[in-house]
Amino acid sequence: MFRKPCGSNGPSLAVVTFALAGCILLSCCFQESSAIAIAPSTFGTAIARAGKISNTLKKDTHVVVTTSAGKIRGRFQKFRSGERGGYYSFKGIRYGQAPVGERRFRAAEPERNWSGIRDASREGNSCPHKNMILDTYKGNEDCLFLNVFTVKMPKGDYNPELPVMVWLHGGGYSFGSGNTFLYGPDYLVAENIVLVTLNYRLGPLGFLTAGPDAPGNQGLKDQILALKWVRNNIAAFGGDPNHVTIFGESAGGSSVQMLLLAPMAKGLFHRAISESGSALNPWAMGESSVARAARLAANLGYVGANDTKEILEFLRRVPPMKLVEASPTTLTEEDFRNNIGLPFVPVVEGYWNKPGEEAVYYETPFITESPQSMYEQHKFHKNIPYMTGYNTHEAMLFIRRLRKNPKLLEIIENDFTRLVPRDLNVTDERERVTREIRQFYLGNKQVGIESVDEMIALLTDLMFVHGIMRTVRNHAKYSNMPVYMYRFSFDGALGLYKRMLGLQRPGVCHGDELGYLFKFGFFNLSLDPKSMEVLVKNRMVRMWTNFAKYGNPTPSNLNDDLLSTSWLPVNGEGAMNNLTYMDITTHLQMKNNPELERQQFWDYMYEHYNGNAM
In degrees and rounded to multiples of 5, residue 472 shows phi and psi of -60, -45
Q: Is 250 a catalytic residue?
A: yes
Contact 172, 23 (CB under 8 A): yes
Which of 191, 394, 513, 595 is catalytic? The answer is 394
Contact 268, 227 (CB under 8 A): yes
| Residue among 193, 192, 203 nearest 167 (CA) | 193
Q: Is 394 a catalytic residue?
A: yes
- Give CA–CA dist 550/546, Å, rounded: 6
Q: Count of alpha carbons within 13 Å of 455, Cβ hemisphere only? A: 27
H or E stretch including 577?
none
Which of 121, 123, 510, 513 is catalytic? The answer is 510
Residue 317 burial class via C-beta count within 10 angstroms: exposed 0-12, middle 13-18, buried 19 and up: exposed
SS3 assignment, position 314: helix
- Give CA–CA dist 505/116, Å, rounded: 54
Residue 158 burial class via C-beta count within 10 angstroms: exposed 0-12, middle 13-18, buried 19 and up: exposed
- Give CA–CA dist 125/150, Å, rounded: 22
Q: Is 169 a catalytic residue?
A: no
- Tell me the helices (H) and strands (E) count for the chain, helix number first: 19, 17
In degrees and rounded to multiples of 5, residue 19 shows phi and psi of -95, 110
Q: Which residues of 105-136 are buried (b: 16+ CB within 10 A; e: fewer)?
A: bbbbebbeeeeeebebbebbbbbbbbbbbeee
Alpha carbon 70 to its chain centroid, in Å, reads 31
- Give CA–CA dist 171/127, Å, rounded: 12
- Give CA–CA dist 602/458, Å, rounded: 11
Residue 381: DSSP 8-state: -
Residue 9 burial class via C-beta count within 10 angstroms: exposed 0-12, middle 13-18, buried 19 and up: exposed
Contact 585, 392 (CB under 8 A): no
- Give CA–CA dist 161/246, Å, rounded: 17
In degrees and rounded to multiples of 5, residue 40 shows phi and psi of -55, -35
Give the CA dihedral 479, 484, 485, 488, nearest 10 degrees. Answer: -150
Which of 27, 250, 451, 479 is catalytic? The answer is 250
H or E stretch including 324?
helix 320-326
Residues carrying an active site annotation:
250, 394, 510
